[in-house]
Amino acid sequence: MKFYELDSAGSRIQSEENISDHKFMKILSIETSCDDTAISIMEAKEGITNASFKILANNSNSQIKIHIPYGGVYPKLAKREHLKNLPIILEASLKQAKLDKKNKPVDAIAVTYGPGLEMCLWEGITFAQSLGKKWDVPLIPANHMEGHVLSVFGKDRGKFKIPKIVFPILSLLVSGGHTQLVLTKKWMWYEIIGETLDDAVGEAFDKVARMLNLPYPGGPQVSKLAEKAREEEKQSLRGVSQAVGPRGSASRARGDSDPEKISFPLSLPRPMLHSQNFDFSFSGLKTAVLYLTRKIGKIDSETRAQIALEFENAAIECLVFKTKKAMEKYKIKTLIVAGGVAANQHLRNEMQKIVGRNIKLLFPTKELSGDNSLMIGIAGYLNYIKNKRKVPRLGSIKAIGNLRL
Protein backbone atom coordinates (compact mmCIF):
# COMPACT_ATOMS: atom_id res chain seq x y z
CA MET A 1 0.00 0.00 0.00
CA LYS A 2 1.37 3.43 -0.95
CA PHE A 3 1.38 6.19 1.62
CA TYR A 4 0.94 9.86 0.80
CA GLU A 5 1.72 13.01 2.72
CA LEU A 6 -1.20 14.42 4.55
CA ASP A 7 -2.18 17.77 5.87
CA SER A 8 -5.93 17.56 5.86
CA ALA A 9 -6.01 16.44 9.50
CA GLY A 10 -4.94 19.96 10.31
CA SER A 11 -1.56 18.89 11.66
CA ARG A 12 1.99 19.56 10.63
CA ILE A 13 3.84 16.70 9.00
CA GLN A 14 6.34 15.59 11.61
CA SER A 15 9.68 14.01 10.91
CA GLU A 16 10.24 12.36 14.29
CA GLU A 17 8.54 9.21 15.50
CA ASN A 18 8.10 10.72 18.91
CA ILE A 19 6.45 13.95 17.98
CA SER A 20 5.08 16.08 20.71
CA ASP A 21 1.99 17.59 19.25
CA HIS A 22 -0.15 18.46 22.20
CA LYS A 23 -3.21 19.07 20.10
CA PHE A 24 -5.75 16.30 20.53
CA MET A 25 -6.79 14.52 17.41
CA LYS A 26 -10.21 12.89 17.16
CA ILE A 27 -10.24 9.42 15.65
CA LEU A 28 -13.26 7.37 14.75
CA SER A 29 -12.47 3.66 14.51
CA ILE A 30 -14.40 0.89 12.81
CA GLU A 31 -14.12 -2.89 13.30
CA THR A 32 -16.07 -5.37 11.16
CA SER A 33 -13.62 -8.23 10.61
CA CYS A 34 -15.89 -10.96 11.94
CA ASP A 35 -19.22 -10.92 13.73
CA ASP A 36 -18.93 -7.76 15.82
CA THR A 37 -19.85 -4.38 14.37
CA ALA A 38 -18.03 -1.81 16.47
CA ILE A 39 -17.36 1.92 16.36
CA SER A 40 -15.45 4.10 18.82
CA ILE A 41 -14.44 7.72 18.93
CA MET A 42 -11.32 8.72 20.83
CA GLU A 43 -9.20 11.78 21.33
CA ALA A 44 -5.52 10.91 20.99
CA LYS A 45 -2.34 12.88 21.42
CA GLU A 46 1.46 12.63 21.70
CA GLY A 47 3.93 10.21 20.13
CA ILE A 48 4.04 6.43 20.09
CA THR A 49 5.79 5.88 23.41
CA ASN A 50 3.70 8.35 25.35
CA ALA A 51 0.41 8.43 23.46
CA SER A 52 -2.65 9.13 25.52
CA PHE A 53 -6.27 8.50 24.70
CA LYS A 54 -9.62 9.68 25.91
CA ILE A 55 -12.68 7.66 24.95
CA LEU A 56 -15.60 9.76 23.77
CA ALA A 57 -17.80 6.93 22.51
CA ASN A 58 -17.65 3.15 22.29
CA ASN A 59 -20.48 1.11 20.82
CA SER A 60 -20.82 -2.32 19.31
CA ASN A 61 -23.33 -4.84 18.20
CA SER A 62 -22.66 -8.52 18.71
CA GLN A 63 -24.23 -10.87 16.17
CA ILE A 64 -23.93 -13.96 18.38
CA LYS A 65 -27.67 -14.64 18.53
CA ILE A 66 -27.99 -14.50 14.74
CA HIS A 67 -25.22 -17.04 14.17
CA ILE A 68 -26.24 -19.52 16.89
CA PRO A 69 -28.45 -21.60 14.53
CA TYR A 70 -25.45 -22.06 12.21
CA GLY A 71 -23.08 -23.09 15.00
CA GLY A 72 -20.54 -20.52 13.81
CA VAL A 73 -20.21 -17.26 11.91
CA TYR A 74 -22.14 -17.33 8.64
CA PRO A 75 -20.19 -14.77 6.56
CA LYS A 76 -23.02 -13.58 4.27
CA LEU A 77 -25.25 -12.98 7.23
CA ALA A 78 -22.46 -11.21 9.11
CA LYS A 79 -21.86 -8.92 6.10
CA ARG A 80 -25.57 -8.06 5.91
CA GLU A 81 -25.67 -7.29 9.63
CA HIS A 82 -22.61 -5.01 9.39
CA LEU A 83 -24.25 -3.10 6.55
CA LYS A 84 -27.43 -2.70 8.55
CA ASN A 85 -25.79 -1.81 11.87
CA LEU A 86 -22.91 0.48 10.89
CA PRO A 87 -25.08 3.61 10.36
CA ILE A 88 -27.03 2.91 13.56
CA ILE A 89 -23.87 2.51 15.63
CA LEU A 90 -22.32 5.58 14.02
CA GLU A 91 -25.35 7.69 14.99
CA ALA A 92 -25.21 6.38 18.55
CA SER A 93 -21.47 7.04 18.79
CA LEU A 94 -21.65 10.60 17.46
CA LYS A 95 -24.47 11.30 19.87
CA GLN A 96 -22.54 9.81 22.77
CA ALA A 97 -19.47 11.88 21.86
CA LYS A 98 -21.67 14.97 21.42
CA LEU A 99 -20.41 15.53 17.88
CA ASP A 100 -22.26 16.94 14.92
CA LYS A 101 -22.15 14.63 11.91
CA LYS A 102 -22.60 17.55 9.51
CA ASN A 103 -19.63 19.41 10.84
CA LYS A 104 -16.51 17.26 10.20
CA PRO A 105 -16.81 15.59 13.60
CA VAL A 106 -13.43 13.77 13.55
CA ASP A 107 -9.93 14.30 12.15
CA ALA A 108 -9.37 10.77 10.85
CA ILE A 109 -11.01 7.35 10.54
CA ALA A 110 -9.19 4.12 11.42
CA VAL A 111 -10.62 0.98 9.87
CA THR A 112 -9.68 -2.71 10.06
CA TYR A 113 -8.54 -3.90 6.63
CA GLY A 114 -7.45 -7.42 7.66
CA PRO A 115 -7.11 -10.16 8.65
CA GLY A 116 -10.67 -11.43 8.83
CA LEU A 117 -13.63 -12.36 6.65
CA GLU A 118 -13.07 -10.40 3.48
CA MET A 119 -16.71 -9.67 2.75
CA CYS A 120 -17.11 -8.34 6.30
CA LEU A 121 -13.94 -6.25 6.13
CA TRP A 122 -15.23 -4.66 2.92
CA GLU A 123 -18.35 -3.44 4.71
CA GLY A 124 -16.24 -1.52 7.22
CA ILE A 125 -13.90 -0.20 4.56
CA THR A 126 -16.56 1.07 2.16
CA PHE A 127 -18.46 2.64 5.04
CA ALA A 128 -15.25 4.35 6.21
CA GLN A 129 -14.50 5.49 2.66
CA SER A 130 -17.89 7.10 2.26
CA LEU A 131 -17.49 8.92 5.59
CA GLY A 132 -13.96 9.95 4.69
CA LYS A 133 -15.19 11.46 1.47
CA LYS A 134 -18.12 13.19 3.09
CA TRP A 135 -16.10 14.71 5.90
CA ASP A 136 -12.89 15.14 3.90
CA VAL A 137 -10.82 13.27 6.46
CA PRO A 138 -8.11 10.64 5.93
CA LEU A 139 -8.48 6.91 6.43
CA ILE A 140 -5.94 4.94 8.44
CA PRO A 141 -5.91 1.21 7.64
CA ALA A 142 -5.40 -0.90 10.79
CA ASN A 143 -4.27 -4.49 11.21
CA HIS A 144 -6.68 -6.41 13.44
CA MET A 145 -3.87 -8.45 15.03
CA GLU A 146 -1.84 -5.36 15.81
CA GLY A 147 -5.04 -4.08 17.40
CA HIS A 148 -5.11 -7.16 19.64
CA VAL A 149 -1.48 -6.61 20.68
CA LEU A 150 -2.17 -2.97 21.55
CA SER A 151 -5.47 -3.78 23.25
CA VAL A 152 -3.54 -4.52 26.47
CA PHE A 153 -2.90 -0.79 26.86
CA GLY A 154 -6.55 0.16 26.52
CA LYS A 155 -9.53 0.56 28.78
CA ASP A 156 -13.13 0.46 27.70
CA ARG A 157 -13.97 3.85 29.22
CA GLY A 158 -12.29 7.03 30.38
CA LYS A 159 -8.66 7.80 29.65
CA PHE A 160 -5.56 5.68 29.24
CA LYS A 161 -1.92 6.08 28.27
CA ILE A 162 0.70 3.90 26.65
CA PRO A 163 2.84 2.93 29.65
CA LYS A 164 6.61 2.56 29.79
CA ILE A 165 7.52 -0.74 28.17
CA VAL A 166 10.73 -2.71 28.44
CA PHE A 167 11.73 -4.60 25.29
CA PRO A 168 11.81 -7.24 23.97
CA ILE A 169 8.11 -8.01 24.08
CA LEU A 170 6.67 -11.44 23.34
CA SER A 171 3.00 -11.48 22.35
CA LEU A 172 0.92 -14.62 22.40
CA LEU A 173 -2.05 -13.87 20.15
CA VAL A 174 -4.90 -16.30 20.61
CA SER A 175 -8.19 -15.84 18.81
CA GLY A 176 -10.70 -17.63 16.63
CA GLY A 177 -8.48 -17.29 13.57
CA HIS A 178 -4.95 -17.01 14.98
CA THR A 179 -2.48 -18.57 17.37
CA GLN A 180 0.82 -16.75 17.07
CA LEU A 181 3.91 -15.98 19.07
CA VAL A 182 5.20 -12.59 18.03
CA LEU A 183 8.51 -10.99 18.96
CA THR A 184 8.71 -7.20 19.24
CA LYS A 185 12.12 -5.62 19.68
CA LYS A 186 10.96 -2.04 19.16
CA TRP A 187 7.64 -0.23 18.85
CA MET A 188 5.38 -1.25 15.94
CA TRP A 189 7.81 -3.93 14.78
CA TYR A 190 6.67 -7.55 14.70
CA GLU A 191 8.30 -10.88 13.91
CA ILE A 192 6.13 -14.00 13.99
CA ILE A 193 8.35 -16.64 15.58
CA GLY A 194 5.71 -19.36 15.82
CA GLU A 195 2.12 -20.05 14.89
CA THR A 196 -0.42 -22.76 14.48
CA LEU A 197 0.07 -25.06 11.54
CA ASP A 198 -3.64 -25.87 11.37
CA ASP A 199 -6.53 -24.76 13.62
CA ALA A 200 -6.37 -21.67 15.80
CA VAL A 201 -6.83 -22.39 19.49
CA GLY A 202 -10.11 -20.43 19.66
CA GLU A 203 -11.38 -22.42 16.68
CA ALA A 204 -10.49 -25.66 18.50
CA PHE A 205 -12.40 -24.46 21.57
CA ASP A 206 -15.41 -23.66 19.37
CA LYS A 207 -15.31 -27.02 17.57
CA VAL A 208 -14.96 -28.98 20.79
CA ALA A 209 -17.93 -27.04 22.15
CA ARG A 210 -19.97 -28.20 19.18
CA MET A 211 -18.96 -31.83 19.80
CA LEU A 212 -20.15 -31.40 23.36
CA ASN A 213 -23.44 -29.88 22.17
CA LEU A 214 -22.63 -26.51 23.64
CA PRO A 215 -23.89 -23.41 21.80
CA TYR A 216 -21.76 -21.05 19.73
CA PRO A 217 -19.47 -19.31 20.58
CA GLY A 218 -18.18 -22.32 22.43
CA GLY A 219 -14.90 -21.08 23.89
CA PRO A 220 -16.42 -19.43 26.96
CA GLN A 221 -18.83 -22.36 27.42
CA VAL A 222 -16.09 -25.01 27.36
CA SER A 223 -14.05 -22.91 29.70
CA LYS A 224 -16.96 -22.47 32.12
CA LEU A 225 -17.50 -26.24 32.26
CA ALA A 226 -13.79 -26.90 32.65
CA GLU A 227 -13.55 -24.36 35.45
CA LYS A 228 -16.34 -26.10 37.33
CA ALA A 229 -14.78 -29.53 36.84
CA ARG A 230 -11.39 -28.19 37.96
CA GLU A 231 -12.93 -26.83 41.10
CA GLU A 232 -14.66 -30.15 41.79
CA GLU A 233 -11.42 -32.00 41.20
CA LYS A 234 -9.66 -29.75 43.69
CA GLN A 235 -12.41 -30.46 46.20
CA SER A 236 -12.13 -34.19 45.64
CA LEU A 237 -8.35 -34.03 46.00
CA ARG A 238 -8.96 -32.37 49.32
CA GLY A 239 -10.77 -35.56 50.21
CA VAL A 240 -14.31 -34.21 50.05
CA SER A 241 -15.63 -36.68 47.49
CA GLN A 242 -12.82 -39.12 46.81
CA ALA A 243 -14.94 -42.24 46.80
CA VAL A 244 -17.46 -41.38 44.10
CA GLY A 245 -15.82 -38.76 41.90
CA PRO A 246 -17.01 -38.05 38.36
CA ARG A 247 -14.39 -40.37 36.88
CA GLY A 248 -15.70 -43.31 38.82
CA SER A 249 -19.26 -42.80 37.72
CA ALA A 250 -18.49 -42.70 33.99
CA SER A 251 -16.36 -45.83 34.01
CA ARG A 252 -18.95 -47.60 36.09
CA ALA A 253 -21.61 -46.66 33.58
CA ARG A 254 -19.85 -48.71 30.92
CA GLY A 255 -18.98 -51.62 33.18
CA ASP A 256 -15.49 -52.74 34.12
CA SER A 257 -15.44 -55.64 31.68
CA ASP A 258 -16.19 -53.44 28.67
CA PRO A 259 -13.11 -53.45 26.35
CA GLU A 260 -14.25 -50.14 24.90
CA LYS A 261 -14.28 -48.67 28.36
CA ILE A 262 -13.14 -45.07 28.67
CA SER A 263 -10.48 -44.82 31.30
CA PHE A 264 -10.45 -41.90 33.65
CA PRO A 265 -8.81 -39.56 34.21
CA LEU A 266 -9.14 -38.73 30.54
CA SER A 267 -5.96 -38.14 28.66
CA LEU A 268 -5.77 -36.08 25.49
CA PRO A 269 -2.65 -35.39 23.39
CA ARG A 270 -0.54 -32.23 23.60
CA PRO A 271 0.43 -31.91 19.92
CA MET A 272 3.88 -30.53 19.11
CA LEU A 273 4.64 -29.89 22.76
CA HIS A 274 8.26 -30.93 22.33
CA SER A 275 8.83 -29.85 18.74
CA GLN A 276 12.02 -27.84 18.29
CA ASN A 277 10.21 -24.66 17.27
CA PHE A 278 7.52 -22.28 18.49
CA ASP A 279 4.71 -23.61 16.31
CA PHE A 280 1.44 -25.10 17.50
CA SER A 281 -1.08 -27.63 16.22
CA PHE A 282 -4.60 -28.02 17.54
CA SER A 283 -6.32 -30.11 14.91
CA GLY A 284 -5.06 -33.43 16.36
CA LEU A 285 -6.29 -32.45 19.80
CA LYS A 286 -9.68 -31.55 18.37
CA THR A 287 -9.86 -34.87 16.47
CA ALA A 288 -8.89 -36.77 19.64
CA VAL A 289 -11.91 -35.18 21.35
CA LEU A 290 -14.08 -36.20 18.39
CA TYR A 291 -12.98 -39.85 18.65
CA LEU A 292 -13.47 -39.78 22.38
CA THR A 293 -17.01 -38.44 22.12
CA ARG A 294 -17.84 -41.06 19.46
CA LYS A 295 -16.47 -43.80 21.66
CA ILE A 296 -18.44 -42.65 24.66
CA GLY A 297 -21.69 -42.23 22.73
CA LYS A 298 -24.24 -40.65 24.98
CA ILE A 299 -22.36 -38.18 27.15
CA ASP A 300 -23.62 -37.41 30.62
CA SER A 301 -22.98 -34.00 32.14
CA GLU A 302 -20.11 -35.17 34.37
CA THR A 303 -18.26 -36.74 31.45
CA ARG A 304 -18.88 -33.64 29.34
CA ALA A 305 -17.27 -31.54 32.05
CA GLN A 306 -14.32 -33.96 32.26
CA ILE A 307 -13.75 -33.70 28.52
CA ALA A 308 -13.93 -29.89 28.67
CA LEU A 309 -11.43 -29.92 31.53
CA GLU A 310 -8.92 -32.20 29.85
CA PHE A 311 -9.26 -30.37 26.53
CA GLU A 312 -8.68 -27.01 28.19
CA ASN A 313 -5.73 -28.38 30.17
CA ALA A 314 -4.15 -29.78 27.00
CA ALA A 315 -4.70 -26.69 24.85
CA ILE A 316 -3.48 -24.25 27.50
CA GLU A 317 -0.48 -26.43 28.35
CA CYS A 318 0.66 -26.22 24.71
CA LEU A 319 0.31 -22.44 24.70
CA VAL A 320 2.07 -21.95 28.01
CA PHE A 321 4.91 -24.40 27.32
CA LYS A 322 5.88 -22.80 24.00
CA THR A 323 5.50 -19.29 25.38
CA LYS A 324 7.85 -20.13 28.24
CA LYS A 325 10.42 -21.57 25.83
CA ALA A 326 10.27 -18.49 23.64
CA MET A 327 10.53 -16.20 26.66
CA GLU A 328 13.73 -17.92 27.71
CA LYS A 329 15.27 -17.96 24.24
CA TYR A 330 14.61 -14.29 23.51
CA LYS A 331 15.18 -13.02 27.06
CA ILE A 332 11.76 -11.44 27.11
CA LYS A 333 11.04 -8.55 29.44
CA THR A 334 7.34 -8.00 28.66
CA LEU A 335 4.78 -10.69 27.88
CA ILE A 336 1.50 -9.79 26.20
CA VAL A 337 -1.35 -12.29 25.95
CA ALA A 338 -4.20 -11.01 23.77
CA GLY A 339 -7.10 -12.01 21.51
CA GLY A 340 -10.46 -13.59 22.36
CA VAL A 341 -8.95 -16.61 24.13
CA ALA A 342 -7.05 -14.25 26.46
CA ALA A 343 -10.35 -14.04 28.36
CA ASN A 344 -9.73 -17.65 29.46
CA GLN A 345 -9.09 -17.68 33.20
CA HIS A 346 -7.04 -20.88 33.20
CA LEU A 347 -4.70 -19.38 30.57
CA ARG A 348 -4.37 -16.24 32.69
CA ASN A 349 -3.56 -18.26 35.80
CA GLU A 350 -1.02 -20.47 34.07
CA MET A 351 0.72 -17.52 32.40
CA GLN A 352 0.98 -15.80 35.74
CA LYS A 353 2.88 -18.86 37.01
CA ILE A 354 5.59 -18.74 34.32
CA VAL A 355 6.53 -15.09 34.51
CA GLY A 356 9.17 -14.35 37.08
CA ARG A 357 9.56 -11.09 38.91
CA ASN A 358 11.48 -9.50 36.06
CA ILE A 359 8.87 -10.04 33.38
CA LYS A 360 5.84 -7.81 33.08
CA LEU A 361 2.71 -9.70 32.06
CA LEU A 362 -0.01 -7.74 30.25
CA PHE A 363 -3.52 -8.91 29.42
CA PRO A 364 -6.34 -6.87 27.93
CA THR A 365 -9.28 -6.22 30.23
CA LYS A 366 -11.91 -8.91 29.69
CA GLU A 367 -13.98 -6.37 27.69
CA LEU A 368 -11.09 -5.74 25.32
CA SER A 369 -10.04 -9.40 24.88
CA GLY A 370 -12.59 -10.01 22.16
CA ASP A 371 -12.93 -7.99 18.98
CA ASN A 372 -13.50 -4.29 19.57
CA SER A 373 -13.01 -0.97 17.83
CA LEU A 374 -10.98 0.71 20.59
CA MET A 375 -7.97 -1.45 19.74
CA ILE A 376 -8.40 -0.38 16.11
CA GLY A 377 -8.37 3.26 17.19
CA ILE A 378 -5.14 2.70 19.14
CA ALA A 379 -3.50 0.82 16.26
CA GLY A 380 -4.74 3.42 13.79
CA TYR A 381 -3.40 6.38 15.77
CA LEU A 382 0.00 4.81 16.48
CA ASN A 383 0.41 3.87 12.82
CA TYR A 384 -0.53 7.37 11.80
CA ILE A 385 2.28 8.69 13.99
CA LYS A 386 4.69 5.97 12.85
CA ASN A 387 4.00 6.80 9.20
CA LYS A 388 4.65 10.47 9.93
CA ARG A 389 1.02 11.32 9.29
CA LYS A 390 1.06 9.92 5.79
CA VAL A 391 -1.97 7.91 4.76
CA PRO A 392 -2.96 5.92 1.70
CA ARG A 393 -5.43 7.40 -0.77
CA LEU A 394 -9.04 6.77 0.29
CA GLY A 395 -9.84 4.49 -2.63
CA SER A 396 -6.65 2.46 -2.41
CA ILE A 397 -7.52 0.69 0.85
CA LYS A 398 -8.47 -2.92 0.19
CA ALA A 399 -9.64 -5.75 2.43
CA ILE A 400 -6.93 -8.37 2.92
CA GLY A 401 -8.43 -11.48 4.52
CA ASN A 402 -5.08 -13.10 5.28
CA LEU A 403 -3.14 -9.97 6.19
CA ARG A 404 -0.07 -10.74 8.34
CA LEU A 405 1.60 -8.72 11.04
User: Which residues of this protein are in contact with ligand KG4, per CB under 6 A?
Assistant: 34, 175-177, 202-203, 205-206, 217-220, 223, 339-341, 343-344, 370-371
Of these partners, Zn ion, ligand KG4, none, which one is at the site of residue 217 (CB under 5 to 8 Å by kind)?
ligand KG4
Looking at 231-316, which runs of residues are DSSP E strands? none
Do the Cβ atoms of 309 and 230 come closer than 8 Å? yes
Distance of closest approach, residue 202 Cβ to Zn ion, in angstroms: 9
Least distance to Zn ion from the beta carbon of 178, Å?
Answer: 8
Q: Tell me the closest approach of the beta carbon of residue 260 to ligand KG4, in angstroms.
A: 30
Structural contact between residues 113 and 127, judged by C-beta atoms closer than 8 angstroms: no
Integer Cα distance of 187 and 349 in angstroms: 27
The minimum distance between CB 371 and ligand KG4, in angstroms, equals 4
- With CB under 5 to 8 Å by kind, the binding choice for 206 among Zn ion, ligand KG4, none is ligand KG4
CB of 287 to ligand KG4, least distance (A): 18
The amino acid that residue 164 corresponds to is K
Binding footprint of Zn ion on the chain (CB under 5 A):
175, 371
Answer for the pair 309, 232: CB distance below 8 angstroms, yes or no: no
- DSSP result, 47-66: -GGG-EEEEEEEEEEE-HHH
Nearer to ligand KG4, 151 or 184 (CB): 151
Q: How far is CA 111 from the centre of its chain?
A: 16
CB of 64 to Zn ion, least distance (A): 14
Task: Answer with the entry of ligand KG4, Zn ion, none that 364 interacts with (C-beta below 5 to 8 A by kind).
Answer: none
Return the number of the residue (250 or 338) whose C-beta is nearest ligand KG4: 338
Q: Are 162 and 373 in contact (CB under 8 A)?
A: no
Q: Are the C-beta atoms of 56 and 97 separated by less than 8 Å? A: yes
In sequence order, what DSSP letters do the residues of 255-309 get, joined into one string? -TT-TTPPPSS-----TTTT-SSS-B--HHHHHHHHHHHHHH-SPPHHHHHHHHH
State the DSSP H helix or E strand holding residue 106, giving kind and residue range, or none if neither. none
Nearer to ligand KG4, 122 or 330 (CB): 122
Identity of the amino acid at 149:
V
From ligand KG4, Zn ion, none, interface partner of 344 (C-beta below 5 to 8 A by class): ligand KG4
Residue 35 or 46: the one with the smaller Cβ distance to ligand KG4 is: 35
**Closer of 107 and 203 to ligand KG4 (Cβ):** 203
Contact 375, 151 (CB under 8 A): yes
C-beta closer to Zn ion: residue 58 or 303: 58
